[in-house]
A and B are shown apart, each in its own frame.
Chain A
Amino acid sequence: MYGFEAMTFNIHGGYLEAIVRGHRSGLLTAADYNNLCQCETLDDIKMHLSATEYGPYLQNEPSPLHTTTIVEKCTLKLVDEYKHMLCQATEPLSTFLEYITYGHMIDNVVLIVTGTLHERDVQELLEKCHPLGMFDSIATLAVAQNMRELYRLVLVDTPLAPYFSECITSEDLDDMNIEIMRNTLYKAYLEDFYRFCQKLGGATAEIMSDLLAFEADRRAVNITINSIGTELTRDDRRKLYSSFGLLYPYGHEELAVCEDIDQVRGCMEKYPPYQSIFSKLSYGETQMLDKAFYEEEVKRLCLAFEQQFHYGVFFAYMRLREQEIRNLMWISECVAQNQKSRVHDSVVFIF
């Protein structure tokens, strides 16, 4: 069906695409953010949000609000929308939608495992998990002592099972191992998602490969920066890079041998799309890198809505909403802690 999606797409995907575009128009605008940034208390934020799509989710909250409540309720809205879409979706869109949550699943697994390693209460950890990445036996993760057990006990039932094939070792879990596991899983997940999108073909493949390549490259840069100065060997580091994206394969070779942030910068600046990101940063700075990447990502996600008849909009919408929730969390935290001067540091305007 290459190139002919327009003829048949609407049979199954038309309704949901309309829905997701409707949801997208409910995203907060720059004017909303400007108003939110002027809020004095969390109640002001609630008052402002009550005029937006978040209204029904916040209206029954008693008045001394907390940041966590706001974030929780906003996430609940996203989850409700996601569940609604998943219920309506048919193959292969339903699989596509499920793929979107695997990232959260990996994060949740890592969160629980790290938490139990540090002897935290499981119930408390479960509350911190992202609701999109929940699966049935997630709490059982606490039982596992090493990766093999982790896999054999719990993850074999989850969609993450195939990604585990590369990181089954009998080593005991420690922070380093867990971090490596996270990245290995993420790599396998991204590659799988990429393959799946390629299989779907058409505009979906085109747009998603762009978005996923960006994601893979961003992870590669982050892995490099975070592993500088640790005992991770170059070969191990290279193993964590996903085998696609703009940086693959030559950029990865260069990134693998980087020893400090300026070397990373040097090798990234050879790639025109990333030049602009790094040109905004002063030398040696990593703090603003995340924001710069987020801004670039949001720009690309918004572009996904310019085309019709593809699944990229679902991915883009979910990501944009998550970014919006991150923004709200940051604003609420700033307001709650009276740090209003820093409110613009991390907010990424979506429109």
Chain B
Amino acid sequence: MGECCPPMDLFRSEPMQLVQIIIPIESAHPTVSYLGDLGLIQFKDLNSEKSPFQRTYAAQIKRSAEMARKLRFFKEQMSKADLPPSKSARQVDVNVDDLEVKLGELEAELIEINLNDEKLQRSYNELLEYKLVLEKAGEFFHAARSSAVLHQRENESRDIGDESLDMPLLLEQETSTDPSKQVKLGFLTGLVPREKSLAFERILFRATRGNVFLRQTVVENPVTDPVSGEKVEKNVFVVFYSGERAKSKILKICDAFGANRYSFTEDLGGQYQMITEVSGKLSELKTTIDVGVLLRGSLLQTIGEHFEQWNLLVRKEKSIYHHLNMLSLDVTKKCLVAEGWSPVFASKQIQDALQRAAFDSNSQVGAIFQVLHAKEAPPTYFRTNKFTSSFQEIVDAYGVAKYQEANPAVYTIVTFPFLFAVMFGDWGHGICLLLAALYLIGREKKLSSQKLGDIMEMAFGGRYVILLMAIFSIYTGFIYNEFFSVPFELFGPSAYACRDLSCRDATTAGLIKVRPTYPFGLDPVWHGSRSELPFLNSLKMKMSIIIGVVQMNLGIMISYFNASFFRSNLNVWFQFIPQMIFLNGLFGYLSVLIVMKWWTGSKADLYHVMIYMFLSPTDELGENQLFNGQKTVQLVLLLLAFVAVPWMLFPKPFLLKKQHQDRHQGQSYALLENTEESLQVNSNHDAHGHEEFEFSEVFVHQMIHTIEFVLGAVSNTASYLRLWALSLAHSELSSVFYDKVLLTAWGFNNWIILIVGLIVFVCATVGVLLLMETLSAFLHALRLHWVEFQNKFYEGDGYKFYPYSFALLDDDDE
């Protein structure tokens, strides 16, 4: 096929081969690295029975994990310092071993800087807290003293005022301080987290049986806690107590509550001195810390410049060793044996890569590349581009194609948007959709590089699907002649006109044909007439059936291509042919009748024809006859359909059984050949040895298939009627929004109501028609493809080809 036409990669998946590569151990690393750059080979895990740490390169993986951890540490530090990793202009070549050393050094340096910084920060915060305590407690003492002074003065003034004879002499003695009676009150000051302050007070009270005096003041701004380094809301407290035992208890309680204590002098002068001292220290520390932060910032800056490159390198390194671990070690421990799948076309590239690797690592022996005979089915690999990939995704979501099976994605590219558009026929809405798709495609480069939301991601991924869906909807919109449910006379005037003036309002009867038939799509005159719905329903229903029968026929045709590709005559003769006969004998015939009815303008009742074709095939058709000899044709078709059922059911399992027996007999006689051939027989035997032939199972399987097909032919055809139903719903909804919202609002002749109506109309159009209806039409189109179309031929039990590629690394790591 290669010469005449361009390669048709999508029709069938790439031919694959199981390759074995024997790599000398010294060039193993560059080899895997080059193969990762190439990204066309999927390694098989040959050590699956070994646990991860028992494998050959476990130590190297640990090393890479350690480096990755350091890089994560840097990243965290950078994000803490608000320094995003910048794209470095110069790419320096780094060796992994050097990098490891370098990372270790950098980490140590950074940790040391952090440690110093933390120490400084801690003392800084402590001083800050101390200052707060000094201020707040000072305020308190000051207030207490001034109130005491006031009190004293009051007393004095009273003394002066009341200096009468009856003043007891003892009073003065009592108010004046008596040093002998005075208990030595100790006090502690400090800060306690605000949320704990209540419990703190309670415990203090309980522990000392109420013999304390606690005073708390709220600190307005959150304070950085010296120990944890977090911002915490705190209270300054002063506790007065008496006695040493109480003191030790209070100290313990303070510890328990994380309350930081600070010494404090009662002396006013001392306080001022302390405050100035602390402020001085604070500013000193501040400059030191600033210098430290600057140093750290510059260090992080240099790390940030290389961060991306290092990160990539480490990840590559880790994945290389991870894949090296999949290779089995030769007994001599001199070479590694790799097995993996690769597309056939890639053999040359892989060999090139192997040669380059051998050359670069100065290895004496090159790697040996050989193709193995594979027992299990190879993976499925389609070479898609950005246009076809989203359609391939639609098919893969149902099931990955079997190896080299016909790929429905090719047909889906056209049929999917088309079926969607049948349900979404409105060229106004189509244009909206088209604009959205064009926007997504136009900003493709920009959008693909950034992270999008969940829904946006989906819309972006399917942008080309949406584009085709939009174009097809515009097309079907022209056929339905709907623009936001309004018909236009785009392709010339309507073919019909009024016979007289009276019919203008009635729109029921009285139209006569004055011109040739409207050239393309629906005649706009149908819109708003009483017979609009019956006419459209009949049209769309018939159209749905024809579309359905055509698509199902396509599906059965593909099953023929599959059968001929896999050289299974059985499937051609006992599956494809009876299926074609059955489907076309009943529903193909119906489609022909539909077309014939359109062509001839007959008034035959097709329901009647179809139903009585089964119930009483020998009756005369009467007025429902569309062509001569219809009765005979129907009888023949019915007979053929009845014959097709056992034809599908019985021969295949019996023939399979016979084939199986033949094969076994042949094997028992095929001995005494030369060695090479007998080896081949052996390997053949291995391939088939496991499959046991269970006749009953095969028969039941075939029976299920037959029943499914026979019933499916009816139900699937009926299922295509959803095309009509959805398209009806869409046009009705849009006409409701147009008539009831926009036209009603217009009728009020008030611009406020008009604007409100317009807003409601736009919201309803976008929300219901453009989003929800799109979604539902999409889902129904999806169903029609997955179930009605693909069940005719698609096995979908393959598995995807996941090549080892550095290009795919970013996605799966994070």
A134-159 interface code vs B (CB 8 A; 1 in, 0 out): 00111111110000000011100100
CA distance A99 to B206 in the complex (A): 27
CA distance A140 to B205 in the complex (A): 13
Contact between chains at B52 and A122 (CB < 8 Å): no
Measured between beta carbons, the chain B residues less than 8 angstroms from A40 are 53
Measured between beta carbons, the chain B residues less than 8 angstroms from A154 are 203
Contact between chains at A143 and B249 (CB < 8 Å): yes
Instruction: Say if the beta carbon of B72 comes within 8 Å of chain A.
Output: yes
Measured between beta carbons, the chain A residues less than 8 angstroms from B330 are none
Most buried by A among B61, B65, B252, B256: B256
Measured between beta carbons, the chain B residues less than 8 angstroms from A61 are 69
CA distance A321 to B149 in the complex (A): 66
Instruction: Say if the beta carbon of B51 comes within 8 Å of chain A.
Output: yes
Contact between chains at A48 and B52 (CB < 8 Å): yes
Measured between beta carbons, the chain B residues less than 8 angstroms from A48 are 51-53
Contact between chains at B51 and A38 (CB < 8 Å): yes
Are A137 and B66 CB-contacts (below 8 A) given A44-B53, A48-B52, A153-B207? no
Checking B58, B69, B199, B249 against A47 with a beta-carbon cut-off of 8 angstroms, the contacting residue is: B58
Q: In the complex, which range does the number of interface residues on chain A fall in? A: 20 to 34
Contact between chains at B69 and A122 (CB < 8 Å): no
Measured between beta carbons, the chain B residues less than 8 angstroms from A39 are 53
Instruction: Say if the beta carbon of A43 comes within 8 Å of chain B.
Output: yes
Checking A44, A62, A153 against B203 with a beta-carbon cut-off of 8 angstroms, the contacting residue is: A153
Instruction: Say if the beta carbon of A341 comes within 8 Å of chain B.
Output: no
Most buried by A among B53, B62, B203, B249: B53
Contact between chains at B52 and A47 (CB < 8 Å): yes
Give how many B residues have a beta carbon under 8 Å from the other chain's beta carbons. Answer: 24
Contact between chains at A47 and B62 (CB < 8 Å): yes
Contact between chains at A139 and B62 (CB < 8 Å): no
Contact between chains at A152 and B206 (CB < 8 Å): yes
Checking B61, B72, B199 against A136 with a beta-carbon cut-off of 8 angstroms, the contacting residue is: B199
Instruction: Say if the beta carbon of B459 comes within 8 Å of chain A.
Output: no
- Whole-angstrom distance between the Cβ of B246 and the nearest chain A Cβ: 11
B33-67 interface code vs A (CB 8 A; 1 in, 0 out): 00000000000000000011110001001100110
- Whole-angstrom distance between the Cβ of A36 and the nearest chain B Cβ: 9
Measured between beta carbons, the chain A residues less than 8 angstroms from B196 are 136
CA distance A39 to B51 in the complex (A): 10
Measured between beta carbons, the chain A residues less than 8 angstroms from B257 are 137, 139-140
A170-210 interface code vs B (CB 8 A; 1 in, 0 out): 00000000000000000000000000000000000000000
The residues in A between 203 and 254 inclusive whose CB is less than 8 angstroms from any CB of B are none
The residues in B between 44 and 100 inclusive whose CB is less than 8 angstroms from any CB of A are 51-54, 58, 61-62, 65-66, 69, 72-73
Contact between chains at A139 and B255 (CB < 8 Å): yes
Checking B53, B58, B73, B256 against A140 with a beta-carbon cut-off of 8 angstroms, the contacting residue is: B256
Instruction: Say if the beta carbon of B253 comes within 8 Å of chain A.
Output: yes
CA distance A51 to B52 in the complex (A): 9
Measured between beta carbons, the chain B residues less than 8 angstroms from A141 are 256
Q: Which residue of B lies closest to A140 (CB)?
A: B256
CA distance A122 to B255 in the complex (A): 9
Instruction: Say if the beta carbon of A60 comes within 8 Å of chain B.
Output: yes
Contact between chains at A137 and B203 (CB < 8 Å): yes
- Whole-angstrom distance between the Cβ of A147 and the nearest chain B Cβ: 15
Q: Which residue of B lies closest to A31 (CB)?
A: B51
Contact between chains at A140 and B203 (CB < 8 Å): yes
Are A137 and B53 CB-contacts (below 8 A) given A62-B69, A153-B203? no
Contact between chains at B72 and A137 (CB < 8 Å): no
Are A143 and B52 CB-contacts (below 8 A) given A43-B62, A60-B72, A153-B203? no
Instruction: Say if the beta carbon of A59 comes within 8 Å of chain B.
Output: yes
Q: Which residue of A lies closest to B70 (CB)?
A: A62
Contact between chains at A137 and B256 (CB < 8 Å): yes
Q: Which residue of B lies closest to A41 (CB)?
A: B53
Instruction: Say if the beta carbon of A35 comes within 8 Å of chain B.
Output: yes
Instruction: Say if the beta carbon of A279 comes within 8 Å of chain B.
Output: no
Q: Which residue of A lies closest to B258 (CB)?
A: A139
Q: Which residue of B lies closest to A154 (CB)?
A: B203
CA distance A136 to B253 in the complex (A): 12
Q: Which residue of A lies closest to B69 (CB)?
A: A60
Measured between beta carbons, the chain A residues less than 8 angstroms from B58 are 44, 47
Are A63 and B53 CB-contacts (below 8 A) given A140-B203, A143-B207? no
CA distance A118 to B208 in the complex (A): 24
- Whole-angstrom distance between the Cβ of A314 and the nearest chain B Cβ: 29
CA distance A138 to B62 in the complex (A): 40
CA distance A40 to B252 in the complex (A): 45
Most buried by B among A39, A47, A61: A47
Q: Which residue of B lies closest to A43 (CB)?
A: B62
- Whole-angstrom distance between the Cβ of A338 and the nearest chain B Cβ: 17
Q: Which residue of A lies closest to B256 (CB)?
A: A139
CA distance A43 to B202 in the complex (A): 48
Measured between beta carbons, the chain A residues less than 8 angstroms from B61 are 47
A100-123 interface code vs B (CB 8 A; 1 in, 0 out): 000000000000000000000011
Are A143 and B256 CB-contacts (below 8 A) given A35-B51, A38-B51, A136-B196? yes
CA distance A46 to B586 in the complex (A): 67
Contact between chains at B256 and A122 (CB < 8 Å): yes
- Whole-angstrom distance between the Cβ of B158 and the nearest chain A Cβ: 44
- Whole-angstrom distance between the Cβ of A153 and the nearest chain B Cβ: 5
Measured between beta carbons, the chain B residues less than 8 angstroms from A63 are 62, 66
- Whole-angstrom distance between the Cβ of B804 and the nearest chain A Cβ: 20
Contact between chains at A157 and B52 (CB < 8 Å): no
CA distance A35 to B55 in the complex (A): 13
- Whole-angstrom distance between the Cβ of B226 and the nearest chain A Cβ: 15
Measured between beta carbons, the chain A residues less than 8 angstroms from B253 are 140, 143
Measured between beta carbons, the chain A residues less than 8 angstroms from B207 are 140, 143, 153
CA distance A47 to B65 in the complex (A): 9
Measured between beta carbons, the chain B residues less than 8 angstroms from A51 are 52
Measured between beta carbons, the chain B residues less than 8 angstroms from A38 are 51, 54
Q: Which residue of B lies closest to A156 (CB)?
A: B206
Which 8 residue pairs of A and B lie closest in terms of their CB atoms, listed nearest first?
A139-B256, A44-B53, A140-B256, A35-B51, A143-B252, A47-B53, A153-B206, A143-B249
Could you list 8 A-B pairs, sorted by A, with CB under 8 Å?
A38-B51, A47-B61, A51-B52, A63-B62, A136-B196, A139-B256, A143-B252, A153-B207
